[in-house]
Amino acid sequence: MVRPLIDNQKRVFKVVRPSLREPRDSDPAISPSSPSSRSSRTAPSRRGVLAGLGLAAGGAVLSGCASPAVAGIVGTGPGKDTLQFWSLLGGADGIVMQGMVDQYKKTHPNVKQQTVTLGWGDPYYTKLSLAVIGNHPPDVGIAHLTRARILAKAGLLDPIAESDLERNGLRITDFNPVAVQMATINGKLYAVPLDTHVQTVFYNTKICKQAGLLKPDGTLVDLDSRDRFTEAALESKKVTKQWGFGIGVQDPVISWRQFQGFYSQAGGQVVADQGTKVVLDDDKAGEVIDFITGLTLHKGAVPSTASSGAVFNAFAAGTLGLFIDGDWDISAFKAAKTPFDMTRFPQLFGSVPTDYKVQADSHSLVLPRNSGRSRQRLDTTLQFIKSIISQSLTWGGGGHIPAYLPTDRSEAYKKLKPNSNYAASARHAAYDPDAWYSGSGSHFESVVGGYLSAAFTGQSSVSAALKNMRRDLNRLAKTKSPLKSA
């Protein structure tokens, strides 16, 4: 239905039907030719439309008043006095963010602010890039840190000076250093991290109690070994009589997230040198894929035939004991009144606790490139960012781990359950590889994840999955990066 990338990130309850999606640039009035129509048909209307546009543009210049459409055509952009904020957050996240923006508006009544929410993933990053190239950037935008790095390397973001941040009451040392490191390129900061969102374990307290998987204090037993993990899955399966550990292995991106977590624990890396070198370790990767394939195909501990939506729905409905997915599912399960608690993604690979890793990304706030940004406007924008950051506790309620340490360390957040159970994972984030073709919602995740998913569900052998991954990665590594000048 929806692009699978969109689907995967926030598959949850947010029903992203095409009905709710941005009509994009396919506004039939402006789009000159619809591919399913013939030029013989569109030619006259195209001329008519263009003539109309010419009149509209002329009219706008004469009258000086600009509707958004006319502003776009004649290039005046949004009002100079409006603070434009672009976001890709939909569903529960979108609602929380809108509340935070409303709070900003309440405390800054003198600033005109406008929020534009676009389709998650590629559509958003495409529009953001084109807006900058077309010299009509928003003042501030949300970006995943894996994507912000790419935007920054493409020269589409302005760096943020520490002195500017400090003047507006923010110190970079107050942010999760792992996220800050991701936001920094060549010593320059390009994004203010808002959160870290990780894979987590959701467990149904009722089922797990019946299965004897709860400690006396009511929390889940330790899962940090492959045997214990498998055992827990099978014990829970005895109670539910259906599935053990629910993991959406039919979904490429979800498969990638599990692999990236475990493979990073084993010390593996997929690509290096900005994505120009494939360093996939067949032994380590093979061990991870073998393990998950064992769970799905041989031990029956993880369902291989259930779609990611089906396992999600089963957990929400209270018929699944254990479930691994992104922390953002929290709102959906709370809304469904599922009796659940959460703990961190398990450590099943690596030899020491410091090897612990979990696949993650971070939302951050970025300043799209704008050579004409005055200092006053910069300060207004940074004040907006500060207002959002200072509401990190509200944001954290939606499941993501706040990157702002004063919030992360606060008593209020420690009391926020089940969120604080897994908050420490943010320090062990395994971000997607640093490459121009990588990042959240990227084609890379779908391609590599596709081969992983095929192995996990028994559609291909482990060796074939590794071979295919390597072949495609080699191709990507050899492709000249579009971010670099010739």
Binding region for another protein (CB under 8 A): 1-4, 6-7, 15, 17-19, 21, 23-24, 26-28, 31-41, 46-47, 50, 122, 125-126, 129-130, 133, 154-156, 252, 307, 437, 443, 446, 450, 479-480, 482-486
CB of 280 to another protein, least distance (A): 19
How far apart, in whole angstroms, are the C-alpha atoms of residue 457 and residue 450? 11
CB of 239 to another protein, least distance (A): 27
CB of 332 to another protein, least distance (A): 16
* Nearest to another protein of 90, 396 (CB atom): 90
Percentage helix, strand, coil for the chain under 3-state DSSP, each rounded to 5 = 50, 15, 35
* Nearest to another protein of 4, 268 (CB atom): 4
* Nearest to another protein of 99, 155 (CB atom): 155
Type of residue at 125: Y
How far apart, in whole angstroms, are the C-alpha atoms of residue 91 and residue 123? 16
CB of 38 to another protein, least distance (A): 5
Length of the chain: 486
Q: How far apart are the two ends of the chain, measured CA to CA in Å?
A: 39
For residue 308 the two structure tokens come to: 């990611």
Q: Are 376 and 154 in contact (CB under 8 A)?
A: no
* Nearest to another protein of 26, 376 (CB atom): 26
* Nearest to another protein of 391, 442 (CB atom): 442
CB of 199 to another protein, least distance (A): 20
Which among 320, 331, 180 has a CA at the least distance from the CA of 246? 320
CB of 28 to another protein, least distance (A): 3
* Nearest to another protein of 113, 313 (CB atom): 313
Q: For residue 464, how far is the Cα from the chain centroid?
A: 29
Residue 25's CB is within 10 A of a number of other CB atoms, namely 11
Which among 253, 265, 161 has a CA at the least distance from the CA of 452? 253
**What is the rounded (10 degree) CA torsion for 229, 230, 235, 236?**
70
Which among 175, 188, 153, 11 has a CA at the least distance from the CA of 438? 153
CB of 45 to another protein, least distance (A): 11
How far apart, in whole angstroms, are the C-alpha atoms of residue 270 and residue 286? 12
* Nearest to another protein of 401, 454 (CB atom): 454
Q: Are 16 and 22 in contact (CB under 8 A)?
A: no
* Nearest to another protein of 152, 430 (CB atom): 152
CB of 361 to another protein, least distance (A): 18
* Nearest to another protein of 265, 304 (CB atom): 304
Beta-strand pair 358-361/195-204: antiparallel
**What is the rounded (10 degree) CA torsion for 85, 90, 92, 96?**
0
Q: Are 117 and 88 in contact (CB under 8 A)?
A: yes
CB of 47 to another protein, least distance (A): 6
CB of 151 to another protein, least distance (A): 9
How far apart, in whole angstroms, are the C-alpha atoms of residue 253 and residue 257? 6
Write phi, then psi, for 301 (nearest 5 degrees). -85, -25
* Nearest to another protein of 165, 476 (CB atom): 476
